Copies of this chain bind each other. A is one copy, B any other.
Amino acid sequence: MEPSAPRRRVTIVDVARHAQVSTTAVSKVLRNAYGASPEMRSKVRRAIDELGYRPHAGARGMRGQTYTIGVMLPDIRNPFFPEVLDGITHALEDTEYQVLLGPGCNGEKAEARVTEAMIDRGMDALILIAPVSRRDHLESVAGAVPTVVVGRHGSSPVYDTVVNDDVEGACLVVGHLVGLGHRRIAHIDHLETDPTRLAEMPNARRADGYRQAMRAHGLAASIDVVSTSYTQEGGYLGAKQLLDRPLRPTAVFAGADVVAMGVLEAVAEAGLSVPGDISVAGYDNTAFAALGPISLSSVDQAGHEIGSNAARLVQDRIADRSRPSVQVRLSPALVPRRTTGRPPAAACDGSA
């Protein structure tokens, strides 16, 4: 037995014939549109069930909608994104919409390819998660199809946004560390040069929040930011630099959990203990932060909420494309764990 010739799909014409009605009638029932009597509806529904009919989304898309929402993720490996995705799919699972994901894209070119592919496939709306593309590209996408941008600050009249308050999150971390008695608190940031991104990307906001909080606590003189990248390696390299300082920081606030992992690696390599010799905090509260052997203090962004908000906004905008754009900002929460503690006694006079 070899793969049989693909049997012809059941179409709306088959259903119409089987139910003894017009294709228009079937179409109306499919879309719950106005203008079909109850008995007509039930007759059509029965035919649909009997024939096992499912509409062809591509064909629907030629005139109306495809009932498909595209979600673009920058990096599948970042364990924060699944949370957001769950929030989206969960909010959409009782609707007719189907979510499809673009595969991990690194960089503007890959993002452009994926967004274009989604537009070309007639998706009804797009949710872009932490895109790195320039603002004008995002706006051109939003011009073609209803778009919600997640995890990027700065608003646009053409797309809606959902963000986490990264400044507040950073303040929470600094406050927590100061409360434990730390004064020499360093921060590892993702190096950013592009001016728009510097204003809109979460990493820049976290660094800002760090600086603000340090000043607010009277620690302006101790501000110490190392810019590497939001990767494990970036954390490792950043920590190396910090550990070489003549006056070593007693705490490191890594801009992301992955970064914190790299920091922990470097700290272990230097023969120092956490949090005995140095405290480490991350951001994102990813699944592995909670893992027993790691137990990383972090900041929870409520990824699920972010996702469900994005799903709501996207549906609202499909319903009314000319509605003014909406910005949703969610508050993060500190999740203290075992990598943060009181600074070593000897360090207390550091800034005294």
A116 to chain B, nearest CB (A): 6
Query: Once the chains are docked, how many angstroms separate the CA of A147 from the CA of B292?
Result: 40
Interface 9-mer from A56-64, A130-138, A175-183, A341-349? A56-64
Interface residues on A, range: 35 or more
Q: Which of B76, B121, B293 contacts A261 (CB 8 A)?
A: B293
Residues of B within 8 A of A261 (CB): 288, 291-293
Q: Is A143 in contact with B288, judged by CB distance below 8 angstroms?
A: no
Query: Once the chains are docked, how many angstroms separate the CA of A305 from the CA of B99?
Result: 27
Q: Is A57 in contact with B122, judged by CB distance below 8 angstroms?
A: yes
**Given A3-B157, A293-B265, A294-B293, A120 contacting B56 (CB threshold 8 A):** yes
A22 to chain B, nearest CB (A): 21
Binary contact readout A103-134 vs B (1 if CB under 8 angstroms, 0 otherwise): 11000000001101100111000000000000
- A residues 1-35 touching B (CB-CB < 8 Å): 1-4, 6-7
Binary contact readout A52-78 vs B (1 if CB under 8 angstroms, 0 otherwise): 001111110110001010110000110
Q: Does A44 contact B (CB under 8 A)?
A: no
Q: Is A121 in contact with B68, judged by CB distance below 8 angstroms?
A: yes
Query: Once the chains are docked, how many angstroms separate the CA of A54 from the CA of B115?
Result: 12
Residues of B within 8 A of A264 (CB): 291-293
**Given A265-B291, A288-B288, A55 contacting B120 (CB threshold 8 A):** yes
Q: Is B321 in contact with A3, judged by CB distance below 8 angstroms?
A: yes
Q: Is A324 in contact with B2, judged by CB distance below 8 angstroms?
A: yes
Return the chain B residue nearest A274 by Cβ.
B293
- A residues 125-183 touching B (CB-CB < 8 Å): 142-146, 157-158
Q: Which 7 pairs of residues, A with B, have the shortest CB-CB distance?
A: A265-B292, A101-B101, A58-B58, A58-B61, A98-B117, A58-B122, A57-B121
A295 to chain B, nearest CB (A): 9
Q: Does A316 contact B (CB under 8 A)?
A: no
Residues of B within 8 A of A59 (CB): 58, 62
Q: Is A293 in contact with B268, judged by CB distance below 8 angstroms?
A: yes
Q: Does A336 contact B (CB under 8 A)?
A: no
A315 to chain B, nearest CB (A): 15
Q: Which of B6, B116, B293, B321 contacts A293 (CB 8 A)?
A: B293
Residues of B within 8 A of A70 (CB): 100
**Given A157-B1, A261-B291, A293-B268, A104 contacting B85 (CB threshold 8 A):** yes
Residues of B within 8 A of A6 (CB): 143-145, 321
Q: Which of B62, B232, B288 contacts A58 (CB 8 A)?
A: B62
**Given A56-B120, A66-B58, A291-B265, A89 contacting B77 (CB threshold 8 A):** no
